[in-house]
């Protein structure tokens, strides 16, 4: 269970509140107008930004004060998911051991993760030698290796074409289904939300609302969402 | 990333730096009773500020087109030229001055050429000579710093510019301009402060007491008047000037916000046509301006090498080993400190940058004298010669290392801090797998510069050195003092070669490592 | 790297502990102790007779020597200070750090010289040195130099002992008219260097027609390099002398050895080394006379030398005049 308890997030004149829970294994789309605070909400959950008040809990344990890396969470960012000077295998290895002390078994796991994400043989390459889609796959492969119960995706596929994006969402669904991970994913596209997330959290009007069934929400959108959907 | 630990270590280091800089002033009996400057001191202050501002401005202005030409052109010998850019900066002052005089002096090549053409002679003695020498020393440093700036612009930005059909002027305005705005104030600040403490160059090429700098006034206070308080007061004035210059540079400088690329480098696009010709002119002019005095140093030194007596070789070799060891230790110290300051500064703190800049304004004479006063009651000065020299060299080289590391450290922080944090990379893992590989190029350059600078410095060891502890620069001075000018020129050439070899080895490592 | 000084310190401690050899510390300037200075020969000769270990520690030049003494005060571990000149001895005496030397032997200086605290070991005349192949008729006075187009390079009195010597030379020769001489010389002085080495280096590189140095400088070129092209120009005003002295510190850890050293300083073993290492005249002409080549050096018509007190009271005003004249 992921709990956002009386969260108040302020940044300059910006203010956002959130107070809800999500079951373990839930797949939640985070949707809302630009600048409403979707990424900020995910930053607070991921540990990159401290809330003004309130707590973030996982399975009842308070994780608000933990460093990002110490949280039971993997974040995949919009960009900068890979270190350009390290090979793909090394980038993945960081998901197992942040100081890259890897055993033979670890290397085997990296190969498996590359296989599962369709990147077999790409281990020795540098990120610049990969296409955008392949880079996203590598980021997901690392998330797989980190094996954290919560996966936070901050629009990592925004730059990909529709077919590639659909493929990636399928991959995320498949991986999270296998691992049972809770997924929060920012998206701009209601079709993505419908295809991928049974639940959707609307971020608008200074609040991140409790997740509701995606289909219902999109069928009867509240005014802010209706305006956004156009 | 253990932010707090980095900040704490940096704070401790900053305190140590301040203590090292200010304790000697206190030991000299600084009293704030009278901070008013005499007429002569005011004149020295005016001249100091004028020559430093001119030198810094000119060095940076000339460095921009040269750095751009080097960033966007590939030609045979480019790597050698880029490496050689470090050379003038690491020359011992007297060696460099004699090299410059061989080219620009009364009997120099330029004036011989002018005379052949029936043109009036150029006099190097005066403000123009001081500025010329300072530009010779510092312009290459500025070129390297600005070149790093150009190389740090992700290739994606230039491709975006190309896809939008940017003219070179638009590229300059939108991409290169912001980079220059971020890099130039720092480069100009460093050069301005270096020139603030100039003394031998200013006096020798300035043509006489008109060219009295604050540092020479300090010399007079310590050596002629034996007024320690006055020396401390003037040293404090230098720190104040440095702090003021720092404040100005910080106001002007804007942080860079390019975002990260894919680590592709390729430099800016290389337009053809007249711009190509102009680049060639800039590169050739800069190369000649730097190479001719260096060539003179080599020509001065080579003839003596053949009949350098065995005793001189022995002394030179022993001194060379000693100097090299000091240089390596100083480099390790300075680079570690610079890295800590750069990491702390990249987190948005202002004080680490100031602490890492102030040593530039330190008068090595005041520093040495003050430390001597502090340490002499407790130790035999000669016993401390090497540790003191190492520490002081590291302290005086810290600002350069810091300035060189800072821009790239900032970029790393902005681009990868979140990613590193999300992966739980802390302390050593972050340093080893992210900071050091991404900083390799500037670290190599900084290490080379610091090592070479430490080879050349003799300000402090002269005060502490005992029997049989001569460093190579001190040996050069001794040879000159004993009329052995030819042998001195040869020993100086060896000094330059060793300095340059050290510089080249580190710099090359950094560039190789970064390209791998 | 720390190992080196520690090892040195350790080895000297060890030798003291085993052999009980007393150590005589002599504080001097750099070019005295260098491989090419008198230091090594003097050390060998004195250690042969003193049953002691003679250790030189060196600083840059005479002016720095005085500054160093003032910094160290009574804590100095030196027993003898060697290398001050008479332009600095008044200040040195005023520190109260020196003890009377008590030596009675005279000296061969061209002017009478005696100081209760300081004994001369060598001396020379300041002079402008030129290249005979480039300058056929050198100026014969400051006035002639000032009237000529010749370019000279001199040293800054604030940082160099010869520089200070020149200041007092002009003052001793011209008194209250010194300012006019400096004003007239201003356009002949291409530049002023911090120390003697830079000036001499510029002169040999051809940057200047003449350089402020010593009448004995050509002896180096003649004897060591077999080069007879350098000469010193005799000036009709006379030449100011530099008299280099040594003294015993009142707090000398080794007062007897210090006395022995000062006595030794007047002997041929010390004095005969001076001409071809320090390139100055020995204070006592050795029995064997001066080396060949010294006879070709010019002998000034008149020797100028201010007493220590005169030099002390003249120098601040002379510096002001110099700064004013050359800053225009």
Give the pLDDT of residue C14. Answer: 37
For residue A126, give the nearest of B263, B422, B433 by CB distance: B263
Q: Could you tell me the residue ranges of all domains in chain B?
A: 1-30+307-516, 43-257+266-300
Give the pLDDT of residue B258. Answer: 60
Mean pLDDT of B467-476: 70
- The residues facing C240 across adjacent strands are C304
Using pLDDT thresholds of 50, 70 and 90, give the confidence band for residue C324.
Answer: confident
CA C191 to chain B, closest CA, distance in angstroms equals 4
For residue A68, give the nearest of B264, B422, B432 by CB distance: B422
Q: Are residues C62 and C44 in the same domain?
A: yes
Mean pLDDT of B254-270: 62
**Which residue blocks in C20-120 are alpha helix, DSSP H?**
30-33, 39-50, 62-72, 89-94
Percent of chain A at pLDDT > 90 equals: 33
Integer Cα distance of B504 and B85 in angstroms: 10
More reliable by pLDDT, B114 or B364? B114
Percent of chain B at pLDDT > 90 equals: 18
Q: Does B321 touch chain C (CB under 8 A)?
A: no
Q: Of A107-121, A164-178, C224-238, which has the strongest mean pLDDT?
A: C224-238
Mean pLDDT of B221-245: 86
Using pLDDT thresholds of 50, 70 and 90, give the confidence band for residue B507.
Answer: confident
For residue A95, give the nearest of B423, B426, B432 by CB distance: B423
**Residues 177 through 216 of chain C touching chain B, CB cutoff 8 Å:** 186, 189-194, 196-198, 200-202, 204-208
Cβ(A40)–Cβ(A132) under 8 Å? no
Q: Does A34 touch chain B (CB under 8 A)?
A: no
The answer to whether C189 contacts B325, with C-beta atoms less than 8 Å apart, is no
The answer to whether C207 contacts B322, with C-beta atoms less than 8 Å apart, is no
In B, minimum Cα distance to C320 occurs at: B40
**Tens of pLDDT along A38-84?**
888 998 998 888 899 999 999 999 999 888 888 999 988 887 888 88
ipTM of the complex: 0.85
- The residues facing B76 across adjacent strands are none
Task: Tell me the chain B residues in contact with residue A94 when contact means C-beta distances shorter than 8 Å.
Answer: 423, 425, 433
**Residues 483 through 502 of chain B touching chain C, CB cutoff 8 Å:** 483-485, 488
Q: Does C12 touch chain B (CB under 8 A)?
A: no
Using pLDDT thresholds of 50, 70 and 90, give the confidence band for residue C167.
Answer: very high
Give the pLDDT of residue C16. Answer: 43
Q: Which fold has domain B43-257+266-300?
A: MetI-like fold (1.10.3720)
Integer Cα distance of C326 and C328 in angstroms: 6
Q: What is the pTM of this model?
A: 0.83
C-alpha separations of A229 from A33, A161, A190, A215, C17 in Å: 9, 20, 8, 14, 94
CATH of domain B1-30+307-516: 1.10.3720.10
Q: Does C2 touch chain B (CB under 8 A)?
A: yes
Touching A: which chains, 3+ CB pairs < 8 A? B
Directed axis angle between helix B485-515 and helix B472-481, to 10°? 160
Q: Are residues C214 and C257 in the same domain?
A: no
Cβ(B135)–Cβ(B54) under 8 Å? no
> Per CB distance under 8 Å, which residues of B are interface residues toward A?
259-264, 415-416, 418-419, 421-426, 428-430, 432-434, 437-438
Task: Tell me the chain C residues in contact with residue B382 when contact means C-beta distances shorter than 8 Å.
Answer: 5, 8, 57
The answer to whether B466 contacts C189, with C-beta atoms less than 8 Å apart, is no
Q: Are residues C165 and C308 in the same domain?
A: yes
Task: Tell me the chain C residues in contact with residue B94 when contact means C-beta distances shorter than 8 Å.
Answer: 197-198, 201
CA A222 to chain B, closest CA, distance in angstroms equals 34
Mean pLDDT rounded to a whole number for chain C? 89
For residue A128, give the nearest of B264, B422, B424 by CB distance: B264
Touching B: which chains, 3+ CB pairs < 8 A? A, C
Interchain CB contacts (distance < 8 Å): B and C: 180
**Tens of pLDDT along A127-136?**
888 988 889 8
Tell me the two tokens of residue C194.
């911090």
Q: Where are the beta strands (DSSP E) in C97-180?
A: 98-99, 118-131, 152-155
For residue B210, give the nearest of C72, C198, C326 by CB distance: C326
In B, minimum Cα distance to A47 occurs at: B422
The answer to whether B421 contacts A127, with C-beta atoms less than 8 Å apart, is no
The answer to whether B43 contacts C327, with C-beta atoms less than 8 Å apart, is yes
Q: Does C62 touch chain B (CB under 8 A)?
A: no
Give a yes or no: residue A99 inside a domain. Answer: yes
Task: Tell me the chain C residues in contact with residue B39 when contact means C-beta distances shorter than 8 Å.
Answer: none
Integer Cα distance of A149 and A59 in angstroms: 10
Number of residues in chain A: 230
Residue B157 has pLDDT above 50, yes or no: yes
Q: Does B92 touch chain C (CB under 8 A)?
A: no
Give the pLDDT of residue B149. Answer: 84
More reliable by pLDDT, A98 or B54? B54
> What's the burial of B38, exposed, middle or buried (CB within 10 Å: 0-12/13-18/19+)?
exposed
CATH code for position C170:
3.40.190.10
Lowest mean pLDDT among A26-40, B249-263, C215-229: B249-263
Please report where in the chains the tokens 């008479």 appear, as a residue. C86
Interchain CB contacts (distance < 8 Å): A and B: 76
Task: Tell me the chain B residues in contact with residue C186 when contact means C-beta distances shorter than 8 Å.
Answer: 208
The answer to whether B220 contacts C158, with C-beta atoms less than 8 Å apart, is yes
Give the pLDDT of residue B469. Answer: 60
In B, minimum Cα distance to C65 occurs at: B223
Domain, as residue range, for C283: 3-123+242-291
Give a yes or no: residue A117 inside a domain. Answer: yes
- The residues facing A74 across adjacent strands are A151
Q: Are residues C18 and C90 in the same domain?
A: yes
Task: Tell me the chain B residues in contact with residue A100 when contact means C-beta distances shorter than 8 Å.
Answer: 429, 432-433
Give a yes or no: residue A95 inside a domain. Answer: yes
Residue C237 has pLDDT above 90, yes or no: yes
Give the pLDDT of residue A169. Answer: 86
Give the pLDDT of residue B516. Answer: 57
Q: Does B104 touch chain C (CB under 8 A)?
A: no
Q: Does C60 touch chain B (CB under 8 A)?
A: yes
The answer to whether B226 contacts C67, with C-beta atoms less than 8 Å apart, is yes
Q: Does B460 touch chain C (CB under 8 A)?
A: no
In A, minimum Cα distance to B414 occurs at: A80
Q: Are residues C204 and C317 in the same domain?
A: yes
For residue B416, give the nearest of A69, A80, A98 by CB distance: A80
Q: Are residues C237 and C130 in the same domain?
A: yes
For residue B424, give the nearest of A70, A90, A100 by CB distance: A70
**Residues 104 through 133 of chain C touching chain B, CB cutoff 8 Å:** none
Number of residues in chain C: 328
Q: Are residues C64 and C165 in the same domain?
A: no
Give a yes or no: residue A164 inside a domain. Answer: no
Q: Does B61 touch chain C (CB under 8 A)?
A: no
Tell me the two tokens of residue B313.
């070789």
Give the pLDDT of residue C18. Answer: 45
Mean pLDDT of B297-301: 89
In A, minimum Cα distance to B427 occurs at: A99
Cβ(A173)–Cβ(A185) under 8 Å? no
Total domains, chain A? 1
Q: Measured on CA atoms in the order B200, B203, B209, B212, is the torsion positive or negative?
A: negative
Total domains, chain C? 2
Mean pLDDT rounded to a whole number for chain B? 83
Q: Are residues C263 and C231 in the same domain?
A: no
Residue B256 has pLDDT above 80, yes or no: no
CA B157 to chain A, closest CA, distance in angstroms equals 15
The answer to whether C327 contacts B468, with C-beta atoms less than 8 Å apart, is no
Give the pLDDT of residue C12. Answer: 38
**Tens of pLDDT along B173-229?**
888 888 888 889 888 988 998 898 888 888 889 888 888 888 888 888 888 888 888
Q: Does B325 touch chain C (CB under 8 A)?
A: yes
Name residues whose C-beta falls within 8 Å of residue C68's C-beta, 6 or more positions apart in sequence. B463, C27, C59
Mean pLDDT of B292-300: 91
CA B420 to chain A, closest CA, distance in angstroms equals 8
Q: Do at least 3 CB pairs under 8 Å connect B with C?
A: yes
Q: Are residues C177 and C274 in the same domain?
A: no
- The residues facing B497 across adjacent strands are none
Mean pLDDT of C1-21: 41
Q: Does A85 touch chain B (CB under 8 A)?
A: yes
Mean pLDDT of B390-418: 85
The answer to whether B421 contacts A67, with C-beta atoms less than 8 Å apart, is yes
Q: Are residues C151 and C195 in the same domain?
A: yes
Residue B67 has pLDDT above 80, yes or no: yes
Integer Cα distance of A201 and A208 in angstroms: 7
Using pLDDT thresholds of 50, 70 and 90, give the confidence band for residue B32.
Answer: low
Q: Are residues C114 and C132 in the same domain?
A: no
The answer to whether C8 contacts B466, with C-beta atoms less than 8 Å apart, is yes
Using pLDDT thresholds of 50, 70 and 90, give the confidence band for residue C172.
Answer: very high
CA A85 to chain B, closest CA, distance in angstroms equals 7
Tell me the two tokens of residue C163.
């520089």
Give the pLDDT of residue B265. Answer: 57
Q: Are residues C198 and C300 in the same domain?
A: yes
Give backbone dihedrals phi and psi of B365, rounded to 5 degrees, phi first. Answer: -65, -45
């Amino acid at each position: 269970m992921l709990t956002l308890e009386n969260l108040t997030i302020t940044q300059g004149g910006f203010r956002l509140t959130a107070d809800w829970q999500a079951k373990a294994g839930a797949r939640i789309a985070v949707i809302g107008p630009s600048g409403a605070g979707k990424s900020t909400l995910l930053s607070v959950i991921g540990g990159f930004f401290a809330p003004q008040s309130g707590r973030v809990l996982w399975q009842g344990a308070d994780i608000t004060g933990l460093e990002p890396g110490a949280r039971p969470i993997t974040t995949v960012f919009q960009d900068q998911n890979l270190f350009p000077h390290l090979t793909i295998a090394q980038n993945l290895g960081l998901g197992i051991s942040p100081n890259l002390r890897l055993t033979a078994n670890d290397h085997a796991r990296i190969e498996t993760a590359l296989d599962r994400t369709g990147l077999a043989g790409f281990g020795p390459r540098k990120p610049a030698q990969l296409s955008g889609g392949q880079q996203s796959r590598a980021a997901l492969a690392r998330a797989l290796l980190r094996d954290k119960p919560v996966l936070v995706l901050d629009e990592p596929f925004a730059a990909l074409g529709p077919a590639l994006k659909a493929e990636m969402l399928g991959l995320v669904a498949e991986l999270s289904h296998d691992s049972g991970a809770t997924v929060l994913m920012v998206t701009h596209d209601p079709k993505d939300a419908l295809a991928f997330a049974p639940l959707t959290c609307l971020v608008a009007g200074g609040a991140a609302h409790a997740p509701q069934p995606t289909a219902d929400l999109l069928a009867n959108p509240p005014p802010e969402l209706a305006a956004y959907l156009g | 990333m253990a932010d707090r630990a980095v900040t704490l270590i940096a704070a401790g280091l900053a305190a140590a730096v301040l203590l090292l800089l200010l304790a000697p002033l206190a030991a000299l009996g600084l009293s704030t009773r009278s901070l008013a400057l005499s007429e002569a001191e005011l004149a020295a202050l005016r001249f100091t500020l004028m020559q430093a501002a001119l030198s810094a401005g000119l060095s940076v202005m000339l460095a921009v087109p040269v750095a751009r030409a080097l960033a966007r052109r590939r030609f045979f010998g480019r790597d050698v030229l880029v490496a050689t850019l470090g050379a003038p900066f690491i020359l011992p002052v007297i060696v460099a001055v004699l090299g410059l005089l061989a080219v620009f002096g009364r009997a120099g090549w330029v004036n011989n050429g002018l005379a052949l053409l029936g043109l009036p002679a150029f006099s190097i003695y005066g403000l123009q000579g001081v500025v010329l020498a300072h530009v010779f020393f510092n312009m290459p440093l500025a070129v390297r710093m600005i070149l790093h700036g150009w190389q740090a612009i992700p290739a994606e930005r230039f491709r975006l510019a190309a896809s939008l059909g940017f003219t070179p002027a638009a590229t300059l305005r939108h991409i290169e301009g912001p980079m220059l705005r971020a890099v130039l104030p720092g480069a100009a600040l460093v050069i301005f402060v270096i020139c603030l403490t100039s003394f031998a160059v200013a006096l020798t090429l300035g043509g006489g007491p008109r060219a009295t700098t604050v540092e020479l006034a300090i010399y007079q206070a310590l050596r002629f008047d034996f007024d320690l308080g006055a020396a401390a007061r003037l040293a404090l004035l230098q720190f104040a000037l440095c702090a003021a210059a720092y404040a100005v540079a910080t106001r002007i400088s804007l942080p860079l916000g390019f975002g990260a690329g894919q680590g592709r480098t390729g430099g800016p696009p290389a337009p053809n046509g007249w711009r190509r010709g102009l680049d060639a002119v800039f590169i050739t002019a800069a190369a000649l301006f730097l190479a001719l005095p260096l060539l003179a140093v080599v020509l001065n030194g080579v003839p003596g090498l053949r009949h350098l007596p065995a005793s001189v070789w022995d002394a030179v070799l022993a001194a060379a080993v000693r100097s090299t060891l000091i240089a390596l230790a100083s480099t390790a110290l300075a680079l570690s400190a610079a890295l800590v300051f750069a990491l702390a500064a990249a987190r948005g703190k202002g004080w680490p940058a100031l602490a890492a800049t102030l040593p530039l304004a330190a008068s090595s004479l005041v520093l040495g004298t003050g430390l001597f006063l502090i340490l002499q009651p407790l130790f035999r000065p000669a016993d401390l010669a090497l540790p003191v020299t190492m520490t002081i060299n590291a302290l005086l080289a810290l600002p350069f290392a810091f300035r060189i590391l800072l821009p790239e450290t900032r970029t790393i922080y902005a681009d990868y801090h979140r990613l590193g944090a999300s992966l739980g990379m802390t302390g050593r893992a972050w340093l080893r797998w992210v900071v050091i590989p991404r900083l390799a190029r500037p670290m190599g350059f900084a290490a080379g510069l610091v090592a070479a600078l430490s080879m050349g410095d003799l300000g402090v060891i002269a005060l502490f050195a005992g029997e049989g502890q001569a460093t190579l620069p001190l040996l050069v001075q001794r040879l000159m003092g004993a009329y052995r000018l030819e042998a001195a020129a040869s020993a100086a050439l060896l000094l330059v070669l060793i300095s340059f070899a050290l510089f080249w080895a580190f710099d090359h490592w950094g560039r190789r490592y970064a390209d791998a | 790297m720390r190992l080196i000084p520690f090892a040195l310190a350790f080895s000297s401690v060890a030798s003291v502990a085993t052999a009980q050899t007393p150590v005589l510390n002599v504080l001097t300037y750099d070019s005295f102790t260098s491989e090419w200075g008198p230091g090594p020969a003097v050390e060998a000769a004195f250690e042969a007779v003193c049953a002691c270990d003679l250790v030189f520690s060196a600083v840059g030049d005479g002016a720095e020597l005085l500054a160093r003494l003032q910094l160290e005060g009574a804590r100095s571990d030196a027993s003898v200070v060697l290398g001050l000149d008479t332009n600095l001895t008044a200040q040195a005496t005023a520190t109260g750090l020196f003890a009377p030397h008590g030596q009675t032997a005279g000296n061969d200086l061209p002017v009478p010289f005696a100081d209760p605290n300081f004994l001369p070991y060598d001396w020379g005349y300041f002079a402008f040195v030129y290249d005979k192949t480039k300058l056929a008729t050198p100026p014969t006075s400051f006035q002639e130099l000032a009237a000529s187009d010749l370019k000279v390079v001199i040293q800054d009195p604030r940082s160099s002992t010869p520089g200070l010597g020149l200041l007092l030379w002009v003052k001793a020769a011209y008194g209250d008219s010194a300012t006019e001489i400096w004003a007239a010389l201003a356009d002949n002085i291409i530049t002023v260097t911090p120390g003697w080495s830079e000036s001499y280096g510029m002169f040999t590189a051809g940057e200047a027609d003449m350089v402020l140095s010593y009448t004995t400088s050509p002896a180096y070129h003649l004897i060591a390099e077999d080069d007879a092209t350098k000469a010193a120009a005799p000036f009709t005003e006379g030449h100011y002398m530099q008299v280099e002295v040594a003294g015993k510190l009142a707090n000398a850890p080794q007062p007897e050895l210090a006395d022995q050293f000062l006595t030794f300083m007047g002997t041929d073993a010390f004095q005969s080394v001076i001409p071809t290492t320090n390139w100055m005249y020995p204070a006592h002409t050795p029995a064997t006379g001066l080396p060949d080549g010294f006879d070709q050096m010019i002998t000034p018509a008149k020797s100028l030398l201010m007493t220590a007190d005169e030099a002390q009271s003249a120098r601040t005003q002379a510096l002001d005049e110099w700064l004013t004249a050359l800053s225009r």
